[in-house]
Structure 1
Amino acid sequence: MLNTLSLGAHRLSSGTELPALDIAYATFGQLAPDGRNAVLVTHGYTSGPSMLVPGHHVAESSWAPLLGPGRPLDTDRFFIVCSNMLGSSFGTTGPNTTNPATGRPWGPGFPAITLEDIVAVQHRLLQQLGVRHLRAVVGPSYGGWQALQWALSFPDMVDAVGSLVSGLTHPKGLSAESTRQRFADHPAWNGGWHYGDARMTDMLTELRRQTLRSYGLETLFEARMPDPAQRQAAMDQACRQWAERFDPNSMVTLAAAAERFDVRDRLSEIRARLLFMVCTTDAIFPPDPVVRALLDAVPAPLRYRELDSPYGHMASGVEWPRLEDDLRWLLDPPAAT
Structure 2
Amino acid sequence: MTKPFTTAAVVGAGTIGLSWAALFAGHGLRVRITDPRPDLAEAVAEALDAAAGQLAAQGLDVDGLAERVHIAVDLADAVRDADVVQENGPENVDFKRELFATLAETAPAHALLLSSSSAIPATAFTDSIEDAGRILIGHPFNPPHLVPLVEVVPGERTSDASVGRAVDFYRFVGRVPVVERKEIPGFVGNRLQNALSREAIHLVEQGVVSPAELDTVMVNSLGLRWATVGPFLGAHLGGGPGGYRHMAEHIGVSMRQMWDSLGRPEQTPEQTEQLVTAVEDAYGSRSYTDLSQERDTKQIAVLSALNSTTSTTSTKKETLS
**How high is the TM-score relative to the length of structure 2?**
0.27
The structure, 1 or 2, with the larger RCO (C-alpha pairs under 8 Å, 6+ apart) is 1
Between structures 1 and 2, the one with greater strand share: 1
- Structure showing greater radius of gyration is 2
